[in-house]
Structure 1
């Protein structure tokens, strides 16, 4: 009988013992694969749900004073209160930096709309402010210029109507619409030009909701700030670190540009995800340890039950190395069987849970690396679980083994 056939035959001689070993290894494989399917995409899914297309940080003129950004994905409301402007060419330059997913320029100003006055305060002038939230005079309204395709970068969500064109069209914030008693279809007089309101929006930011939004080029023409922006909103590409990207931009434009963002909040989110990932690894490690113990106990039991058989093999000339190879071979064959069982169980459980919509917002992340990791765990358990029993079997003295009852 060929040696490999003997190994396979030995496995099926005691089916219950072999099933126990397969079960132990499969637990480890299923845990590693199942948890990996969930946690490998947890960071991306969580970040996507929290940011929802909004910019990760904003770039403003000047050195970083250490002030954090305002709430919301777009960072602070720059371009007001004496904020210097940035040449719009910097937008395309930043867009070319590795790791930048999207960059868009934003111009901000404040205009008195309460009486359709032409009195305006452009972004490079100082305006009077009042109140704890830093709002401008009660009759001053925020005007934002941004390309309509990039509204989500500034957390601007159109709630009614449509977006604006590059012509004399605007969308109005929820708060401004209520205060000015304006609705879709009405008009606003801004800098002696008539603008049609084509939609309403919300941002969750009181100051921005008390204003209007139009195309960037149109607001630049109105204010005379052609080719300039108040700030640049930047969103990191998938897989890129917003923190590292912000540092890169500051290093590229020292003493010229700085970044302002809620990076501390992002760091807290990432720290929380690290804790989750560490917890999943701990559970996986525990499953691997349990699987390893089951394999060791099973293989030790197999060696104990086959003491006389091993003694006979030693008596007819089998070497210790050959005995060890046989026991390890049996353990590895069991691991191969367990790989199939573990993968089916791990993937199957995750798919069932996903189909029942219990993991809302989290999509299982299938990858070749994850499958290879599960296979590696199975082979590792089979090898480690079989080493000590194989060593014990190889050290049995033929005379003592033949006397074993």
Structure 2
């Protein structure tokens, strides 16, 4: 048994050396194949990282408000607000509820088609809720045409205290830059935003602070019974909704990108392996002439493909740190990319699966080659 095991190990070692020699013999094609698979993996991991990172960052800012309950209009969702906002009288009504220590409303206006938005709030009320913003430069808004912005967004947009910026068809003066992590990237006076959006006396959402945070679940049930139709959540549950699994459109988009990536990997490996089979027609004929089985030939091709896929996946993982650096220095306020380690084996598996699929047809062509024709091939 021992000699058989040694022979098997020696044979596998020799086979692996042959495979890497074949890959090294055609460096340009090998490099392009690895690079194409790497782009496939990087594309998947970057999209997943941006999705996780942006949603997690939004959840972190929501938790930074310091509220225990979020009170939202009927028809709203985790990432969007209803077009029919709530009356600004509701916070005062909520403060008459048992165990409600404080309630504060805000107005939210999305900017463009991205994740950026402007939040209208009352700074005095916001300070009562959680202690307020910590200003790094400047200070709070005094006039209706002033705004404050967090340090991350200000750095991305190159805004400074005293600058005049154009938002929502309005000129605003940057009054202060605050420490990020609370509620919003950009904040203005609430009544100013209500006037600009044509919604005087209305709110987008309300934050509720309880006298005992442990009563959050019970208080949510009580409020839902009194205010049917409104979207009322504990802050813990609301932030848990900010995940890929709860955002159907984003989840479907990721699946589409994965499908495209598999096609890219399939085409890349198919072309590389098909060309390799044509170039090695005589080599395959020699293997068959000396007794090499169809299984051996397929083994060699699939091992080469597997090696290409693993090398490409490894390079793709490394490249995601490059896209992460790019996100951090180019659009770090709008998009945040995380390193999602749990997706490394998933992306690698997708790359390997696509590559092996691409090697099937060239492999079948290789094993069907006639020995006589293959040996006479020039």
TM-score (norm 1): 0.52
Deviation at 1:251, TM superposition (A): 5.2
3-state SS of paired residue (1:359): coil
Q: Does 1:373 align with 2:359?
A: no
Whether the aligned pair in 2 keeps the contact of 1:76 and 1:260 (CA below 8 Å) is no
Q: 2: CA distance between counterparts of 1:384 and 1:232?
A: 52
Counterpart of 1:12 (choices 24, 32, 51) is 24
Counterpart of 1:295 (choices 264, 269, 280) is 269
Q: Does 1:26 align with 2:38?
A: yes
Whether the aligned pair in 2 keeps the contact of 1:69 and 1:262 (CA below 8 Å) is no
Deviation at 1:232, TM superposition (A): 7.7
Q: Does 1:313 align with 2:325?
A: no
Q: 2: CA distance between counterparts of 1:317 and 1:286?
A: 40
3-state SS of paired residue (1:87): coil
Residue deviations 1:30-83 (CA, integer Å, cap 9, x gap):
211222222222233356668972756339xxxxxx996537xxx862444xx8
Q: 1: CA distance between counterparts of 2:47 and 2:283?
A: 42
Residue deviations 1:146-187 (CA, integer Å, cap 9, x gap):
99353669xxxxx769xxxxxxxxxxx999xxxxxxxxxxxx
Larger radius of gyration: 1
Q: 2: CA distance between counterparts of 1:38 and 1:307?
A: 45
Counterpart of 1:398 (choices 367, 371, 377) is 371
Q: Does 1:204 align with 2:177?
A: no
Gaps of 5+ in 2: 1-10, 73-81, 106-123, 134-138, 145-186, 195-205, 211-215
Counterpart of 2:70 (choices 46, 49, 57) is 57
Higher helix residue share = 2
Whether the aligned pair in 2 keeps the contact of 1:25 and 1:288 (CA below 8 Å) is no
Residue deviations 1:324-364 (CA, integer Å, cap 9, x gap):
11100001111122122222223213313422x33324322
Aligned length: 269
3-state SS of paired residue (2:90): coil
Q: 1: CA distance between counterparts of 2:263 and 2:83?
A: 48
Q: 2: CA distance between counterparts of 1:391 and 1:309?
A: 16
Q: 2: CA distance between counterparts of 1:337 and 1:107?
A: 54
Q: 1: CA distance between counterparts of 2:86 and 2:224?
A: 23
CA RMSD of aligned residues (A): 4.8
Whether the aligned pair in 2 keeps the contact of 1:22 and 1:338 (CA below 8 Å) is yes
Q: 2: CA distance between counterparts of 1:289 and 1:251?
A: 48
Partner of 2:86: 70
3-state SS of paired residue (2:38): helix
Superposition pairs for residues 77-92 of structure 1, below 5 Å? 77-80=90-93, 85-88=96-99
